[in-house]
Structure 1
Amino acid sequence: MRLIKPTAAVIALLSGLLMSTLAQAHPKLLSSSPAEGAAGAPPDKIELHFSENLVTQFSGAKLLMTEMAGMAHDPMPIKAKVSGGSDPKTMLITPVAPLTAGTYKVEWRAVSSDTHPITGNVTFKVK
């Protein structure tokens, strides 16, 4: 019986396919509402839409006010409820009180079935 040795090209192709499959398992932020860099009225809730279903017990977010008109300050935490949406790929951040004028940042952590945490942030302004 003769064994066939895989060529370097075949090994590279199989490795690439394996790595692309693993990379696709990480959740990616697809969109947010308000969108990154948006300016407008205070939102009742902030929605983050990901590419993968989230494991809600390991995913979460913090809402911070990073700038207030005419006032320099360190980021201030804003009380908000974080929950999953009706779509398992959505995270909802609902401020406890209406947001006042200023710049806000949502620092998020998303975990999908691969259990690898991915982090990021979204910044928006309230007029």
Structure 2
Amino acid sequence: MRFAAFLAALTLSSGFPCALLAHVELAASTPVAGTAAKAPREIALTFNQPVDQMAAAASIVMTAMPGVPNHGEMVIRNFTASWSEDSQTMTLTLRKPLPAGTYEIRWQAAAGDGHPMSGTFGFDVP
């Protein structure tokens, strides 16, 4: 009887619950982090698992502009966010293409474990 209980506990602790406790991470992005993109109108963030849409947010920040030394950070607000049916991809659709500059995408999200995670990635627009 003890052995059966031990096996049941071992089985439960070795698979299914681990998936529930995994933290959300950014799995992919478009534009790809660290690359150059020609005036994108969409930015896609794909996570490693479904995300709680109410606990997720993203911002677009221009961190540098060509020919403008000491350019301060400028938050870009002219976009709308939408989600894929599986709640794994957030798409930021811009009203106008991004002008030349260096950009940082800042995101925060939580998944099944409820633990909030955050991160950033950057790209350039030539």
TM-score, normalising length: structure 1: 0.79
**Equivalent residues in 2 for 1:72-111 (5 A)?**
72-79=70-77, 80-111=79-110
Distance 2:100 2:86 in 1: 30
Distance 1:21 1:100 in 2: 40
Q: CA deviation at 1:117?
A: 1.0
Structure 1 runs, 4 residues or longer, greater than 6 Å off: none
Checking the alignment, whether the CA contact within 8 Å between 2:21 and 2:112 is kept in structure 1 is: no
The alignment status of 1:46 with 2:38, answered yes or no, reads: no
SS where residue 57 of structure 1 aligns? helix
SS where residue 90 of structure 2 aligns? strand
Q: CA deviation at 1:108?
A: 0.4
Instruction: Tell me the number of residue pairs that the alignment of Structure 1 and Structure 2 aligns.
Output: 120
The alignment status of 1:112 with 2:107, answered yes or no, reads: no
Q: CA deviation at 1:21?
A: 4.4
Checking the alignment, whether the CA contact within 8 Å between 2:107 and 2:119 is kept in structure 1 is: yes
Checking the alignment, whether the CA contact within 8 Å between 2:25 and 2:47 is kept in structure 1 is: yes
How many percent identity over aligned positions? 34
Which sections of structure 2, spanning at least 5 residues, go unmatched?
Answer: 4-9
Distance 1:96 1:20 in 2: 40
Which sections of structure 1, spanning at least 5 residues, go unmatched?
Answer: 5-12
Distance 2:104 2:25 in 1: 18
Checking the alignment, whether the CA contact within 8 Å between 1:56 and 1:83 is kept in structure 2 is: no
Q: CA deviation at 1:22?
A: 5.3
TM-score, normalising length: structure 2: 0.79
Checking the alignment, whether the CA contact within 8 Å between 1:78 and 1:95 is kept in structure 2 is: no
**Equivalent residues in 2 for 1:51-66 (5 A)?**
51-66=48-63
Q: CA deviation at 1:87?
A: 3.6
Distance 2:21 2:112 in 1: 12
Checking the alignment, whether the CA contact within 8 Å between 1:62 and 1:77 is kept in structure 2 is: yes
Checking the alignment, whether the CA contact within 8 Å between 2:41 and 2:95 is kept in structure 1 is: no
The alignment status of 1:35 with 2:32, answered yes or no, reads: yes
Paired AA for residue 75 in structure 1: E
